[in-house]
Structure 1
Amino acid sequence: MASMTAKQLAEEYEKDVSKELFKYECLKDLDLFVLDNSIRESTVGQLRGHTIENKRDIFNEVTKCGFRHRIVASYNHQRRVDDGFVKELLAKGEDPEFLWAFSEVTEGISRKVPDQTSIPVGLLKMKEAGLRNVIFEIDLGNSTYNFEKFTVDDMCRLVEKWVKWVKTNLGSSSKVLVNFRDIPDVMPSQSKRVFHVVDFLARLNLLFGIMFEDQRGKSLPEECATWAKFIRKVMDSVNWKGHLLVHVHEKFGYMDATAIASLMAGANGIWASVCTEGASIGNASSCVTIINLVRLGNKKVLKMYNCSYLRKAAIRVTEITTGSPPHKNQPIFGTRATDFMFDLKPEEFDLASVFGEKAPVRITELASPQMILSRLSELFGKSTAFTLEIASKMKEMILEDLRSGRKEEYMSKVGLALLFDRSGGSLNEEMCDIIAADEAKNPYEKRLLEDIRQRWNEWDLLDAEHNDEKLQYDSFYNGFLAPYFSSLRCHDTKQALQAIDMDANGYVDWKEFLVYLKWAFRQYPDVEDANELLDVTFRKGLIPAMRDERILLKGIED
């Protein structure tokens, strides 16, 4: 067989890639149903659980996203925060029409046979609270039940019994979903059980829909997609138009691809948290899934949900849950997700514009002088000191840092300001004010800065003027510089004081010192205590700044 020409390969490639990409076309017309699980999912596996206030804040965030259907509780015999939270919601007039809660399908299991008589406590608590919509959790694996003693038909009858109980006791308008909780364990060898139960529920025609999940995130996208495809086949075979919702956890990096693949294959909705925090090492968030649909051309979700708020909600729910913002590299809602990386041209699908944000310019060794200049103006406003000449020197300083083994960040206000200063610029009072006003978001950083400020205040009491946000040179030397310089009058000490006294007023201002402290924490966030932060500040920040060309040229007279 003769070898293929480049033209033939190109033609074959174009056909193949068109065929592969055509699979995504179905997502453009998908009416995505979202069952929000932010209140429940985000707390699973966390070292600190959610308080009622946390749940209230999360509920408000997801409501702003336009998610009407929200899971608000998971009931068992213990009295949980959920109990009080639901009562508070309903007392304030929240419509129970769109609120959901989990319940087991059995009150207990003995010798791998479920209790088929007692009303599950979840249902009783829902009735007491005034909730209507139930998510029944069922298992079809041999690890849970002995299906020789308790058959699949028995499971069908048990589910039917409690579905009808719900309709009678929680209201005829109540909605029911059934979640196949252990589907990854069942499908490889007992898929007929799943199809049998789905067929029964579809013919029953009393359910709102069916849910399934990959609890441990171990399944490949094609596996989950095939589950969705064949479950939908069963539903279609009896002409049942119920919802099919997918939920995926993270383990090996497939979660978002798996959620999208399942939607392409037959699922029409997701049940997920708006952020990734959740069981295992996270879940495929509704924020990421929805924005991918937008990126692929789905305009329906733009009308159904407040897509411009999704990023803010995901960030806020992460902060409520963990006490910290999302990881900077988190897709869609991490701080780097909207950055300009190589130039200032927006991409074809511009995330920043979707969220109504201005994309920040990322300052790395790849940044051009124009990008550096743009970032300076963005953070500190327009200034005649910000020129292409100084930006070019800053670019050279970045490269020189890397060549000399100095690895730093230049994106933050303090990082860029010190780069500007080291490259021949002069930090003015306005820049220091902006950095000082930029409050520490990390609780640990805040505590360390408070410890150092307390030490500062103790030395301030020895000055002639107190509480003036300044220390005289001798007080600053005795309080902070003495471990690093032999005496107040030596040449090196004078250089250090001039480096930190940016306005050259003969004092060290707190906001001037704060520039270096904040820089030190940004560069070395794993410092153990305030003493180590000070050590890093002087050894890694202030002492190298003494070698600043500006200081060397200016000189200091003894």
Structure 2
Amino acid sequence: MALTGKKVAPMETDDLMQEIATIKAHIEQVRVQKRERLRTMDFFCLDNSIRESTVGQLRSHTLENKQEIYRNVKKCGIKDIIVASFATSKMQTQRVDDLFVNWLKEQGEDFTYFVSFSEITNGYDKNGGYDTKSVPIGLRKNKEWGLINTFFEFDLTDKNIQWGTKFTVDDMCQLLKKRIDEVRAYTKTGRILLNFRDFPLAMRDYPDRVLYIVRYLSRLPEGSRMFALCFEDPLGEYLPEELEAWTASMRRVMDSNGFSDGKILVHIHQKWDLQTASQLDCLSAGADGVWASLCEEGAAVGHACSSVTMMNLIRLGNQRILKKYNCTQFRKAAIAVTKLTTGKMPHPKQVVYGERSIDLVFGFLGVGDFDLAEFFGVDAPNRITTLASTDMISDRLVNVFGDNSQFKDKYILDKMKEQMLADLRGGTKEEYHSPAGIAALFDRSGGKLTPEMAKVLEKTKLSAVHHDNLIAEVRKEWDSWDTKEQGGNRGDGRLEFDSFYHAFMAPYFGCYRCGMTKKGLQAIDMDSDGFVDWVEFLVYIKWALRQYPDTEDMDTLLEIVFQKGVMPAMRDEKIMRQRSGVKSSC
């Protein structure tokens, strides 16, 4: 159905040519207005890992958690850090944040760029307005602790306020000015930020309130101006285009009233998976940065984190971020903050810092040219197969077991290659890449086991019974699919590609007909007969069990097989093709 609901005339050839011209013009506009802005902008990151990641969690951060998160943030080269959100009621006088700020003081840390939250008001008065007389608890504590940068928060749609009668927008402007003056009374250089906490709802229902206040703050004399006006989408419910339009409106009001150097920072929560797209649209429309945690953990189901947002800007060519922050640390830091917050690793499919984000980002899988593995310095070790050179075998031995003169012995290395080929000719399909696999090959080829090799092989023997049980469990699942096949293929110890995909591959390769799935099948089908033999699949299973001998169940075993075995093998094949000048079909 047409978007307008009206009947649309058929397109002739000339109409199609006009349509092509239209879409080209539109894409060019996107490139100039959005991509170019994102590529060249001077991005500002206000880190909120210490505060955001604990919101709504089952386990709050301990002092030690906060200390370790702080260390990880510093490794990323981020210096603007939200360090506290103090108790907002008189009954709740101390949080871990007090202890953490005290620890920062004891460590002699520089407080110049530390930021702390404060409400604009302690609550309501008795007449339907905000309390404008008492000083907010957060602001008092900021002064006590010497935190000179204050991040105020307020709401413009609070139904407890009788707007327009008991409390007006002018009253709010005067309250904001009062808080600015209170901060300036104890620091002339401290940064003041303001979060429009209910920004989307206010822009939808009361845009006059928002823009009136933005104009008022933009017109303040230079010494009274804020460092940044900020907003969030607390529910993650609005479309990127809506937030983009509202951001552009705020920027126009600021610029037209002499506040073009004022920053706009955004914070988007996750609900319908629009968070990062929304954040990028806001940045393209005039926002200058974000306040966010390095990882997505946060209130409800999370938020648009800084590591993912900044990596998006980097892949679009933003060089300023690379110079400003230690970007190669983003992945490690985001993983660390996630573990400190949840006690678990990030979800494997979490973009940028999930385990599978590296495996699935290679260009030949059809997901772009930006190689996250290369950017973050994740090594792809030499995989030892019959195609490996003696130099590759030597490198693998040294990397796994350290230097040893035997690992450079050409006679032993040649024998190892010969043994692999002899195994293949004799119908034995073995794996040689894991520490246990290459140690066993070394032993069978005349090498004298080193103490470290002996330990690896002994551990493999101790796990043998458990491993046999896991292999039997996988084989049972294999046989259940083998017996469903038709004709002569039933029960022959081989699986057709269709059966193998649905039995084992589907959770890791989302499209049966896609090129990357075919590449995965080719990596397993070693004899290229169009089937997956049990002995072919068993090579990867044995490798996984030797490499990860503590694997507890079949699901974990298969996850290791595909994520750490098959997918890297696919990447190796691509690299080998590139080096040999053979063009990949994907």
Match of 1:533 in 2: none
Query: 1:191 and 2:207 equivalent?
Result: yes
Q: Which residue of 2 aligns with 1:34?
A: 45
Taking the TM superposition and a 5 Å limit, the aligned residue runs for 1:344-355 are: 348-355=369-376
Q: Does residue 1:87 correspond to 2:68, yes or no? A: no
- Alignment partner, residue 251 of structure 2: 232
Asked whether the 8 Å contact 2:84–2:116 carries over to 1, the reply is yes
**Does 2:236 align with 1:217?**
yes
Q: Deviations over 1:181-236 (max 9, x none)?
A: 01122111111110011111111242111110011111111111112111111100
The Cα shift of 1:144 comes to: 4.4
User: Shift of residue 140 of structure 1?
Assistant: 0.1
Equivalent residue runs for 1:229-308 within 5 Å: 229-240=248-259, 241-308=261-328
Amino acid at match of 1:29: T
Q: After superposition, where does 1:155-554 map in structure 2 within 5 Å?
A: 155-168=172-185, 170-205=186-221, 206-240=225-259, 241-339=261-359, 348-359=369-380, 384=416, 518-521=550-553, 523-524=555-556
- Counting only pairs closer than 5 Å after superposition, residues 123-138 of structure 1 correspond to structure 2 as 123-138=139-154
Contact 1:417 1:431 (C-alpha < 8 Å) held by counterparts: no
Query: Could you say what secondary structure the match of 1:35 adopts?
Result: strand
The answer on whether the counterparts of 2:423 and 2:429 sit within 8 Å (CA) in structure 1 is no
Counterpart residue number, 1:402: none
Between the aligned partners of 1:8 and 1:435, the Cα distance in structure 2 is 72
Aligned residue for 2:354, secondary structure, equals coil
**Among candidates 67, 74, 88, match of residue 85 of structure 2:** 74
- SS of 2:77's partner is coil
2:113 to 98, 101, 104: 98
Counterpart-to-counterpart distance in 1, 2:116 and 2:422: 59
Which stretch shows the higher mean deviation, 3-12 or 305-314? 3-12
Aligned to 1:3: 12
Percent identical pairs in the alignment equals 38
1:11–1:201: structure 2 CA closer, same or farther, 3 Å change rule? closer
Distance (whole Å) between structure 1 residues aligned to residue 420 and residue 161 of structure 2: 72
SS in 1 for 2:180: helix
Question: What runs of 5+ residues in structure 1 fail to find an aligned partner?
Answer: 363-367, 399-409, 439-467, 485-511, 526-558
For the residue of structure 2 that corresponds to 1:125, the secondary structure is: helix
1:336 partner SS: helix
Contact 1:339–1:359, Cα closer than 8 Å, also in 2: no
2:155 matched to 1:139? yes
Where do 5+ consecutive residues of structure 2 fail to align? 1-9, 402-406, 408-412, 473-543, 558-586
Q: Distance in 1 between matches of 2:12 and 2:81?
A: 58
Question: 1:46 and 2:81 equivalent?
Answer: no
The CA distance in 2 between the partners of 1:386 and 1:41, in whole Å, is 57
Q: How many residues align?
A: 438
Question: How far does the alpha carbon of each residue in 1:462-519 deviate from its partner, in whole angstroms, 9 at most, with x for none?
Answer: xxxxxx989999xx99xx99xx9xxxxxxxxxxxxxxxxxxxxxxxxxxx99978623
Asked if the contact 2:154–2:195 (Cα under 8 Å) also holds between the matched residues in 1, the reply is: yes
Relative distance call for 1:469 and 1:437 in structure 2 (3 A) is closer
CA drift of 1:358 comes to: 2.2
CA–CA distance in structure 1, aligned partners of residues 113 and 422 of structure 2: 58
CA distance in 2, matches of 1:15, 1:314: 39
Alpha-carbon spacing, 1:225–1:88, altered in 2? closer, same or farther (3 Å):
same
Instruction: Please say if residues 58 and 320 of structure 1, whose CA atoms lie closer than 8 Å, have aligned partners that are also in contact.
Output: yes
C-alpha deviation, 1:275, in angstroms: 1.0
- Tell me how far 1:434 sits from its aligned partner: 8.1
Aligned to 1:151: 168
* Cα distance in 1 between the residues matched to 2:374 and 2:103: 37
Report the AA paired with residue 36 of structure 1.
D
Match of 1:442 in 2: none
Equivalent in 52, 55, 62 of residue 66 of structure 2: 55
Cα offset, 1:17, TM superposition: 2.9
Larger mean Cα displacement after TM superposition, 264-273 or 170-179: 170-179
Q: How far apart, CA to CA, are the structure 2 residues paired with 1:308 and 1:472?
A: 39
| Alpha-carbon separation, structure 2, partners of 1:369 and 1:518 | 28
**TM-score, normalised via structure 1 length:** 0.68
- Using a 3 Å threshold, how does the CA distance of structure 1 residues 109 and 21 change in structure 2: closer, same or farther? same
Following the alignment from structure 2 to structure 1, what is the Cα–Cα distance between the partners of residues 124 and 423? 70
Q: Deviations over 1:156-188 (max 9, x none)?
A: 1111101100110x3111211010001122111
Kept after mapping to 2: 8 A contact 1:215/1:248? yes
Q: How far did residue 24 of structure 1 move?
A: 1.3
Change in Cα spacing, 1:183 to 1:389, as seen in structure 2 (3 Å) is: farther
Whole-angstrom CA distance in 2 between matches of 1:183 and 1:391 = 68
Give the 3 Å change call, closer, same or farther, for CA 115–303 of structure 1 in structure 2: same
The code of the aligned residue for 2:65 comes to N
Q: Write the letter of the residue equivalent to 2:99.
A: G
Q: 1:144/1:214 Cα in 2 relative to 1: closer, same or farther (>3 Å)?
A: farther
Q: Is the 8 A contact 1:137 1:180 kept in 2?
A: yes
CA–CA separation in structure 1 for the residues paired with 2:237 and 2:347: 23
Give the whole-Å Cα distance in 2 for the aligned partners of 1:523 and 1:130.
Answer: 52
TM, length-normalised to structure 2: 0.65
Decide whether aligned partners of structure 1 residues 119 and 224 sit closer, same or farther in structure 2, where only a CA change above 3 A counts. same
C-alpha change, 1:369 and 1:286, in structure 2 (3 Å) is farther
CA contact (8 A) 1:108 1:115 kept: yes
User: Deviation at 1:16?
Assistant: 3.7
Kindly tell me: are residues 219 and 387 of structure 1, through their superposed partners in 2, closer, same or farther at Cα, counting changes over 3 Å?
farther
* 1:96 match: secondary structure: coil
RMSD of aligned residue pairs (Cα, Å): 4.5
Q: Cα 1:28–1:430, aligned 2, differ >3 Å: closer, same or farther? A: farther
Sort the Cα spacing of 1:359 and 1:152 in 2 relative to 1 into closer, same or farther, 3 A.
Answer: farther
Kindly provide the CA deviation profile for residues 519-554 of structure 1, in whole angstroms up to 9, marking residues without a partner as x: 3336259xxxxxxxxxxxxxxxxxxxxxxxxxxxxx
Code of the residue aligned with 2:228 in structure 1: it is G
Give SS of 1:118's match.
Answer: coil
C-alpha spacing 1:137/1:158, structure 2 compared with 1 (3 Å): same
Rounded to whole Å, the distance in 1 between the matches of 2:258 and 2:246 is 18
Instruction: Give 3-state SS (helix, strand or coil) of 2:359's partner.
Output: coil
Q: CA deviation at 1:283?
A: 1.3
How far residue 359 of structure 1 moved from its aligned partner, in angstroms, is 4.9
The aligned amino acid for 2:551 is W
Deviation of 1:252 after TM superposition, in Å, equals: 0.6
Report the residue type matching 2:80 in the other structure: H
Alpha-carbon distance, 1:20 to partner: 2.9
In 2, distance between residues paired with 1:320 and 1:171? 34
Instruction: Label 1:28 to 1:106 Cα distance change in 2 as closer, same or farther (>3 A).
Output: same
CA drift at 1:285 = 1.1
Question: Does the 8 A contact of 1:369 with 1:391 survive in 2?
Answer: no
Could you tell me which residue of structure 1 aligns to residue 123 of structure 2? 108
Deviations 1:374-400 (A, max 9, x none): 99969969983699979999xx999xx
| Distance (whole Å) between structure 1 residues aligned to residue 347 and residue 319 of structure 2 | 29
